[in-house]
């Protein structure tokens, strides 16, 4: 309950926003996370005697809405190459990084595990989870802004509001707001073409498709 702006100053470290402090912020609140579905904190506890429940994650908490932005696998791999621990700056050859990225032995885990779980949740629970493709945001930001607005319950969405939101959330504005953070590189789709040699691309795609088996068929389009 209650109302608040749901905003932080964007300057603090993660250690400065413990769960207790976040819980004190009045709703509606906004939290950005890279959490896999099974580590998502906005859930409600369900106690069940089922013997098969050990691998089942808890349902998303009532009143919580998740906007999940999914990105092309190879572009995501390239982005991670320059982000967080910055394997590029550490001197990793890109092909070695791509193989490590596929293994999931780094922060946030395997891309395939991440998208498989959240895609399944979005299909089974569309009232609480909105699936957004990064490439669609770039190609038609106005259409995606309208989807998000409808999802979070904004009743009146004018063309003026959509245009204002698109201007305020474009890559150039976000990079400026970040203080020109180094990991804010391009904000484009398709940069992987400059990093993947043909043999690496073929091996990468084969491994990702293997990891995606059993998931939603539309995930095959994210290679």
- Predicted pLDDT of residue 21: 85
- Predicted pLDDT of residue 5: 44
Q: Of 81, 195, 60, 55, nearest to 130 (Cα)?
A: 60
- Predicted pLDDT of residue 51: 66
One pLDDT digit (tens) per residue for the chain, 223 residues: 444 444 444 444 545 678 788 788 888 888 889 999 988 988 988 766 566 665 667 899 999 999 999 999 999 999 999 987 899 999 999 999 999 999 998 888 899 999 999 999 999 999 999 999 999 999 999 999 999 999 999 989 999 999 999 999 999 998 898 888 888 888 999 999 999 999 999 999 999 999 999 999 999 999 9
User: Is the bond into 28 cis (omega within 30 degrees of 0)?
Assistant: yes
What's the length of the chain? 223
- Predicted pLDDT of residue 220: 94
Q: What is the crossing angle of helices 73-81 and 111-124, to 10°?
A: 130
- Spatial distance between the Cα atoms of 86 and 106, rounded to a whole number of angstroms: 11
* Beta-bridge partner residues of 131: 68
Q: pTM of the entire structure?
A: 0.86
- Predicted pLDDT of residue 52: 66
């Amino acid at each position: 309950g209650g109302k608040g702006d749901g905003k932080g100053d964007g300057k603090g470290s993660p250690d400065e926003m413990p769960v207790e402090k976040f819980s004190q912020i009045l709703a509606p609140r906004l939290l950005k996370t890279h959490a896999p579905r099974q580590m998502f904190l906005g859930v409600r506890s369900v106690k069940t005697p089922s013997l098969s429940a050990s691998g089942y994650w808890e349902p998303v908490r009532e009143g919580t809405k998740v906007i999940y932005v999914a990105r092309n696998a190879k572009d995501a791999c390239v982005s991670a190459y320059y982000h967080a621990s910055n394997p590029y700056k550490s001197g990793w050859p890109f092909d070695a990084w791509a193989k490590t990225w596929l293994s999931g032995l780094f922060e946030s885990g395997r891309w395939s595990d991440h998208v498989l779980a959240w895609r399944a949740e979005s299909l089974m629970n569309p009232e609480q989870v909105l699936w957004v493709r990064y490439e669609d945001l770039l190609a038609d930001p106005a259409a995606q802004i309208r989807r998000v607005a409808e999802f979070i319950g904004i009743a009146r969405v004018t063309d003026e509001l959509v245009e204002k939101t698109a201007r305020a959330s474009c890559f150039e504005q976000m990079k400026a707001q970040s203080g020109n953070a180094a990991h804010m590189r391009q904000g484009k789709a398709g940069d992987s073409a400059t990093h993947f040699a043909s043999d690496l691309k073929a091996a990468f795609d084969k491994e990702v498709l293997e990891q995606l088996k059993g998931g939603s068929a539309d995930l095959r389009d994210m290679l």
